[in-house]
Structure formats: C-alpha cells, structure tokens
Structure 1
Amino acid sequence: MPDADMVTGGDRPGQGAGRVVGSDRVLVVLKELAGHPAGVGLDELARVVGSPKPTVHRALRSLRRAGLAAQDARGHYLLGDEFLRLAFAHHETRPEHVRLQPVLETLAVRFGETTHYAVLDGREVVYRAKVDPPSGAARLTSTVGGRNPAHSTGVGKLLLAHRLTTPDAVAAWAAEAPLERRTARTRTTVAELRDELATIRERGYALDDEENETGVACLALPVYALSPSTPSGALSVSALTYRTPLATLVDAVDEVRGVLGRLGEGDAA
C-alpha cells in the first residue's frame, strides 16, 4: 500500500510514532520546496532533507495530489498553485498588524510601556496598531490611524533608512518640504538626516530621543511581514523617559529582536 508506506515513513502501519515521523517528513519536503522558487531536482531534495529518494518521492507524490507541489518540464519540483492560493488567501484575511498583535502585547507587558506598529505613507507614518501597558496611569496620546512626521519618529526614520539609501535620495526627499522641528532635538537638516539614516542601516534599529515629543523616547525595529528584504512596517517600544530611559531600551534591543523573531514561528504554529 504506497499511501500507508508514505504516511508511516517505512515503519509498520500500526505504529503511531511512525505516522508522526512520516507526516513530519512530508512537511520538511514542503518547507524545503519553499526555498527553491525555480524548482529543485529529486536527487538534491533527497540530499538536503536527508531521506532516501523513494521516500522523498512518495512525499512529493502526496503533495502533488493535493496541489501543494508541482513538477515542471525539467522534472524539477516546486510549490504548487494550490499552496500559493491558500497562502495568499490566508494572508489577505490576516493583515500584518493582526499577526503582530501578540508581539506588541508581549513587549508592552515586558517594558510597561506602549508599543506600536506603523507604516510609511509619504512623508508621514501611520499607526496601524497600538498596545498600551497593562498598568500605569500615564499613557501616550497616539491613536490607531494617527500620523506623525517620518523624520522625527523612530519608526519613520527606520523605514526612511530602507527607502532613502543614498545621500542624493535623502537630499531629494528633504527638499520636497521643510523638516518640521517638533522639539529642540528634532533633526531638521539634510546632513543630520543623512547621517542618522546611515547609522540606522548599520546597526539595524532606530531611536527617537525625544525628537517627536518631549519626554517620550522610542526604540524601533523593522518588521518583515511581506518580504524578507523590505520592511512592511516598523515596531516600536515608546516609553515615557521618566519611567523608562532610552538607554534601558537600547540595552534590551536584542531581547526585542528575539520577541519579534518569534512572529514567524507563531505564523507557522
């Protein structure tokens, strides 16, 4: 019985543990196909997943029957149209800010401060999600759907750093309109903004040191919800400085990265 053999992965059909191994093997093959958008041959696929070719072939046959894998004219295997249809249909009904909600909640509890998810819209950022800390009388006045200048916010500068990657691009963007001075610390010259964006690209995160609002500091990191190379938006931990100094947020940047990194694991669960 080929199907039973595929499910059990070579173990006796009555063994429950064998069924788990076989199912896991099919999923391993499926995940490996995702890393080969141009297709992959059976020999290479078997080598990468560490299973005999007949076993991998049976897994592929099962995936092809479900439309989750396909075979091209060269005999190479790749993700099937049904897999892509399911993935995109699911993604469209589950916006990135909804997927990010558990991360925002975790960080709000951890720091006792407000967390945001924002996207870039022209010269401004728009807040798509906000989670206030579970305790504390003082709260930020930001709102979902609210806007702030990109050049004076951590999330905005983070996203500008990925969009304006050359000195000429920064100068052209800055020349479109004056850079509003929101506080005494706001960077309002081309040179300041250029240097700041270069620093952000180098270290991988952005800071708002009371540049948008006096008494409020922010640590911002990129969120790659739609593409592995281009941020779809940015996450921030925005703190009242009398309660959580900016240095405290900077010291915890690796911890924040770790929590944000679990976004993909949660999607896969």
Structure 2
Amino acid sequence: MADTSRRQKQAAPVSQDRSSTPVGADRVLLILRELAANPGGIDLDDLTKTVGSPKPTVHRALAVLRRAGFARLEAHGRYMLGDEFLRLAFSHYEARPDHLHMQPVLETLAARYNETAHYAVLDDRTIVYRAKVDPSAGAVRLSSTIGGRNPAHSTAVGKLLLSYTLPDDDAVAEWVGGAPLTARTGRTKTTAAELAEELALVRTRGFAIEDEENEPGVACLAVPVFLGSPTRPTGAVSISALTYRTPVSRLVDEVDEIRTVVADRGAPTAT
C-alpha cells in the first residue's frame, strides 16, 4: 500500500501538467493554428514558447505536418503552412455552395438587429433567396422563403444587383421594356426613368435600399457579396426590417458596420 501511495503522489504533478499542456492531436492542431496566425513564418523557438511544449516534442509534431504537406520549412528556418493544407482548404471552400459561405453573416446580422437577414441572387427579372435567418424567437418574422422569389426592381437586393447588370440608362430602359413595372405597393418605382435614377444612386453609394416598395411596413438595405470576382458580385446580403422597429435610416447610418460583417464573413468583432 505504501508503494502504491508513493506512486500516486509521484504521478500527481504529471497529471496536473497535462491539464495545462497540449498533448497529441491537441498539440498538432495548436501548431497549425499558430502557423496560420503567422503567414510570414515562425521559427522553432518562438513556436515552442507559444505552444508551451518542449522543443523536441514540437519538432516531432512539425515533422508529421511536413510529411503530410501541411507545414513547410523555409530556408531561413521559419515554418509556414504547407501547400497541401492550403490546397485542401481552398478546394473545400470553393466547393461549398454560396449560401453556406454566407450563413454566419446572416446569423450575425439577424442577432445584431433582431431582424431578418437574407442572401439572394439575381435571376433575370427576379431575385431568388438562397439563405435566410430569422430573428430570435418572439420577434415578428417575414414570409420570405428559401428558394422564393421577388421582383428585382422592388427589392433592395434586386436593385443592388441590377446596378451591376445594367450599367447605364439605356440598359435600364431596354431591360424595363415598353410596359410599366409591377407596382408591389404605392411606393414601388415602376418606370424606366425612376429605376435608372435609383440605380445611379446605388452605384454612387455602393448599397441599395427600399422603403416599403415591396411590402408595406418593411424596409430593407442590401450590400454586395464578392465570393469570386472582386468586381462582380455573386449575390447580395440584405437586412429586411419592420419599419416601426428598425427604420431604414438606422441601417443606412450603420452601413459601414454591415459591410464589415459581410467582408469578414460574419466573424464576431473584438470588444
């Protein structure tokens, strides 16, 4: 019994150390995170200090990552993420549907404003909702559905995307044609001249709004999303708000913050 007690007492400090020191797969993942956080590379000494493990242990983990192509050693002795890791990451990212890329953005915006957030794309004369996040339970929710459509000319998303598709007044007139556009409410812009003026404003501002033009009591602000080309949006994100609760003027005042959320793909901002 005495021998067992001594062994238990001797083992206790090791157990305590392991609780605060990464081991096995945890260590490897921590090293990967550090490599990602240092795009210019990090040397073994600094990596060892950051990870909090002995240098030989970190070196062995790096050797495993290098064999897999997930890390590489530069001539100046600094470790970086390997090309195979980057290839897998970008391949996975590019294969994901747009709406999965934008889901964190919509969740962040819906939580921040307690309003509905959409991601939508342009399809000829209509917009199609690819993703939607409603506000938390207890809030009034909109009737829009994923896969549902609305006229492009009466929605903020539609006007935002049309401003890229229709570059000038002549293009707008040709798109509208000879007949007036459908009036969804008394505020809907239904002529080519009205729409052309609106799209010119959108191009200047870099965002679009609609104030009860598609649905009474609902206002909306939309900003572009660039998942591929840096100059041609793949779609747009919008916040659709009940006007009695969130006036469109508030969304306009906070458009820079909204753009930041979209650009950061919904990552929470530091506080």
TM-score, normalization by structure 1: 0.68
CA drift of 1:187 comes to 0.6
CA drift of 1:228 comes to 1.2
- Give the distance between the partners of 1:134 and 1:117, measured in 2 at CA: 18
Paired positions, count: 210
Q: What's the secondary structure of 1:126's corresponding residue?
A: strand
- Give the distance between the partners of 2:223 and 2:47, measured in 1 at CA: 49
Q: Which among 96, 112, 115 is matched to residue 113 of structure 1?
A: 115
Task: Provide closer, same or farther for how the CA distance between residues 15 and 184 of structure 1 changes in structure 2, counting only shifts above 3 A.
Answer: closer
CA drift of 1:257 comes to 1.1
Gaps of 5+ in 1: 1-6, 24-52, 69-81
CA drift of 1:136 comes to 3.1
Question: Is this contact kept in 1: 2:221–2:240, CA < 8 A?
Answer: yes
Residue 147 of structure 2 is matched in structure 1 by 145
Task: Provide closer, same or farther for how the CA distance between residues 225 and 175 of structure 1 changes in structure 2, counting only shifts above 3 A.
Answer: same
Q: Which among 228, 240, 243 is matched to residue 242 of structure 2?
A: 240
CA drift of 1:177 comes to 5.9
Residue 55 of structure 1 is matched in structure 2 by 76
Amino acid at match of 2:76: T
- Structure showing greater radius of gyration is 2
Amino acid at match of 2:137: S
Does residue 92 of structure 2 align to residue 90 of structure 1? Answer: yes
- Give the distance between the partners of 2:46 and 2:225, measured in 1 at CA: 44
Question: Is this contact kept in 2: 1:120–1:126, CA < 8 A?
Answer: yes
Task: Provide closer, same or farther for how the CA distance between residues 54 and 231 of structure 1 changes in structure 2, counting only shifts above 3 A.
Answer: same
CA drift of 1:126 comes to 0.1
CA drift of 1:166 comes to 1.4
Residue 211 of structure 2 is matched in structure 1 by 209
Task: Provide closer, same or farther for how the CA distance between residues 244 and 178 of structure 1 changes in structure 2, counting only shifts above 3 A.
Answer: same
Residue 194 of structure 2 is matched in structure 1 by 192
Gaps of 5+ in 2: 1-40, 63-73
Residue 127 of structure 1 is matched in structure 2 by 129
- Give the distance between the partners of 1:150 and 1:212, measured in 2 at CA: 10
- Give the distance between the partners of 1:250 and 1:15, measured in 2 at CA: 47
Deviates more, 1:132-141 or 1:106-115: 132-141
Question: Is this contact kept in 1: 2:104–2:267, CA < 8 A?
Answer: no
Amino acid at match of 2:183: R
Q: What's the secondary structure of 1:135's corresponding residue?
A: coil
Q: What's the secondary structure of 1:143's corresponding residue?
A: coil
Q: Which among 206, 215, 221 is matched to residue 223 of structure 2?
A: 221
Task: Provide closer, same or farther for how the CA distance between residues 179 and 17 of structure 1 changes in structure 2, counting only shifts above 3 A.
Answer: same
Question: Is this contact kept in 2: 1:112–1:135, CA < 8 A?
Answer: no
Residue 138 of structure 2 is matched in structure 1 by 136
Q: What's the secondary structure of 1:222's corresponding residue?
A: strand
Question: Is this contact kept in 1: 2:102–2:265, CA < 8 A?
Answer: yes
Amino acid at match of 2:93: H
